Chain A
Amino acid sequence: MLSPGSSVEGTLELPGAICSIKNTLDPIENTIEQVSDDRFGAVVTFIGTTRNSFQGKVVTKLEYQAYTKLALKTMATIITEARNQTAEFQAVVQHKIGVVGVGEPSIVIAVSSPHRKEAFHTCEFILEEVKRKVQIWKREYYEGEDERQAEWKSNV
Chain B
Amino acid sequence: MSSTSTSTAHITVLYFAAASTTLGITEEKIPIPEKGFYLSQLKDLLVERHSRDNPSNDNGSGKKGGGGGKKIGEALRKVLDSSQWSVDAEMVDDDEDLTKVELGDGVEVAVICPVSGG
Contact = CB atoms under 8 A, between A and B. Distances in A.
B26 A152 contact: no
A65 interface: yes
A128 B27 CA distance: 29
Most buried by A among B21, B25, B113: B21
Interface stretch (A26-34, A110-118, A132-140): A132-140
A152 B112 CA distance: 12
B18 interface: yes
A64 interface: yes
B115 to A, nearest CB: 6
Chain A interface main SS type: mixed
Interface stretch (A52-60, A66-74, A79-87): A66-74
Contacts of A148: 60
Nearest to B25: A2
Contacts of A92: none
Contact of B113 (A6, A71, A152): A152
Interface string B57-77: 000100000000000000000
A48 interface: yes
Contacts of B86: 67, 70, 135
A6 B19 CA distance: 14
Interface in B39-87: 60, 86
Contact of A67 (B24, B25, B112): B112
Contacts of B91: 70, 74
A2 B21 contact: yes
A155 B115 contact: yes
A2 B115 contact: no
Most buried by B among A3, A69, A106: A69
A48 B115 CA distance: 16
Contacts of A154: 113-116
Given A70-B110, A73-B89, A148-B60, A4 B15 contact: yes
22 contacts: A2-B20, A2-B24, A2-B26, A4-B15, A5-B27, A48-B118, A67-B110, A70-B89, A71-B117, A73-B89, A74-B91, A95-B117, A130-B118, A131-B118, A136-B116, A136-B118, A137-B16, A137-B113, A138-B117, A139-B21, A153-B116, A155-B117
